[in-house]
Amino acid sequence: MKLPEDQFSVKFYVARFLLIIPYFKKNYIALLTGAIIGGIVGGIVEYFKFKETKYSAEIYFTIDAPGGNDGGGLSSLLGLANNGESSNIFSNGNFEELVKLPVVYKKALLLPINNFGKKELFINYLIKNHTSIWYFENIKGKYFPQKANIDSLTDEQKSTLSFAASYFMEITSFKKESDLSSFRKVKVITPNDTLSYLWANNVLNSLTDIYIKNKTKKSAELVSILGKRVDSLRNALYYTQGKLAKFADQNQQIVFQSAKITADRLQLNSSQLQGLYNEAIRNYDNYKFSLAKETPLVNIISKSDLPTYTNPYRWGFLTVFGTLVGALSVIVLLYFVRVYKEFLND
């Protein structure tokens, strides 16, 4: 009896499902062969992944980055700061976007490292010690000058730097541990424990340098101008005082009125310059202190140590996946063979 179209029958669907059993009985050898081949391929891939041991370096940190509306900050004193919190590159999702930029990783590659007492650029350390990693075979021997910066590089060096940076962008992750805390974690996974350790520290230093150079750029320029003004006033003061002392030595008993007027004028100039110089020194020191307040403080909560943590490989997933793919491939192949035979018979 035919069921109405809107009526559901469990028995009907169970019967349709049981039709698979004769299909498996008929083709079990082919299905078993495909599953075994797929499982073997998956096992081989897992073996090579197991041989490639990975080392993980993790650093937990917080960044105290003062906002633009800090009343004691230099930028606020001079009206240079933006009162919106969005100007802070470590807040409102700006940090997550910042760590995606290649410039962070390029700068980290050009930062010097202390490799067991020897200072060298990280990129040179990488080229000298880790070109055995297949990804870096093409940059072997392409060393950089010790005081290299991005703007002074040749086109070939920029290409090499971009190539290396793309690798570290893939193996470096930044994560905020909880929305309720300000703790963040940088995690690096490479085939070498020293490489993981050095890179985790270097990329964190690169972020700090970028913040300092961008957040305090105007303030630092003003402090530099104030420093030059202090130097100029000091030179003028020393010159006037020297001239006054020399004039006094030459005219110990002042008789002429013109000489007395000259001495009084030099004394007045010296007093005025002394006042300006003292005020400039005071402002210069205050502004340097305010600039220091604008600089972020990176608090390392938990640092990575050598030897770093080894990531154990978990066996099984690729083997099971390969087995299923092998069996499904045989099913698809048998279906196309049957369709092809029916086509020939027709």
pLDDT tens digits for range 136-164: 888 888 889 888 788 888 888 898 899 99
Q: Which residue has the higher pLDDT, 215 or 242?
A: 242
Better pLDDT: 304 or 253: 304
Q: Examine the domain organization and report whether 41 and 80 are in the same domain.
A: no
Are 61 and 122 within one domain? yes
Full residue range of the structural domain in which residue 200 is found: 54-216+301-311
Whether 234 and 257 map to the same domain: the answer is: yes
**pTM of the predicted model as reported, rounded to 2 decimal places:** 0.57
Question: Tell me, what's the pLDDT at 257?
Answer: 57
Q: Is residue 157 part of a domain?
A: yes
Could you tell me if 41 and 74 lie in one domain? no
**pLDDT value of residue 333:** 85
Q: Say if residue 105 is in the same domain as residue 63.
A: yes
Give, in order, the Cα–Cα distances in Å from 293 to each of 77, 219, 259, 280, 287.
13, 11, 51, 20, 10
Residue 110: which of 131, 94, 127 has the closest Cα?
A: 127
Indicate whether 21 and 108 sit together in one domain: no
CA separation for the pair 289, 285 (Å, rounded): 6
Same domain for 63 and 185, yes or no, is yes
Average pLDDT over every residue of 99-128: 87
Query: Do 17 and 153 lie in a common domain?
Result: no
User: In the predicted model, what is the mean pLDDT of residues 36-45?
Assistant: 85
- The two three-digit tokens of residue 85, written as one number: 């919190």
Q: Which of 172-181, 302-311, 321-330 has the highest mean pLDDT?
A: 321-330
